[in-house]
Amino acid sequence: VYAYDLGRLLYKSAEVGFYIRVLGPIMPLIYLESIVIGILNGLNQQVSSLRYNVIDSVTRISMILAIVPLRGMQGFLFVMLVSNLLTSFLNLRRLLVVTKLRPDWTTLAVRPAFSIVAACALTVHTSRYFVKLGLLNPMSEALYGLAFMGAVYLFLLFITGCLKKSDLARAF
């Protein structure tokens, strides 16, 4: 939501904000993938991890050769998105097959996704209102927005049952 503001604040560049906006949503997948690969390796599934990395490499190189000459950096970002989605899906699928786990996708994905979308929407509307009233300038809008969005997101995670007090106790 505040990618362009962060780009200007941290790097003095709105262009960096574009990259933050595009790459930000895949960061959880990148972290998930590294954790899942570690678990798969611990479960003696190195060959499947290697197979998925080879599939990813071939897919990524093919897409780079086909898309990047036509679309430039936007094409490369698209390749990154597709590649990370592919490897995350393949590795997670393998982990679920090997462990025979049946995750509750509502709690793990649907409710958190709803919570972040709702937090973003509420934050954008309230910060715009405060800017119109002259209570916030553009820079303080971003700082306020990030803090408010984080608080609303955590609150919604509690309300939806995705986060419990015991989870926070373990984190701190």
Instruction: Return the structure tokens found at 28.
Output: 């959880």
Contact 34, 26 (CB under 8 A): no
Contact 77, 23 (CB under 8 A): yes
pLDDT of 138 over the 80 cut: no
d(CA 39, CA 35): 6
**Mean pLDDT taken over the chain:** 90
pLDDT at 4: 87
pLDDT at 48: 93
- Which pLDDT band, with edges at 50, 70 and 90, does 83 fall under? very high
pLDDT at 82: 93
d(CA 80, CA 84): 6
* Of the candidates 77, 69, 66, the residue with the CA atom closest to the CA atom of residue 20: 77
User: Which stretches of the chain are DSSP H helices?
Assistant: 3-11, 14-23, 27-42, 46-99, 105, 111-132, 138-159, 165-171
Q: pTM of the prediction?
A: 0.76
- Which pLDDT band, with edges at 50, 70 and 90, does 165 fall under? confident
pLDDT of 8 over the 90 cut: no
pLDDT at 144: 85
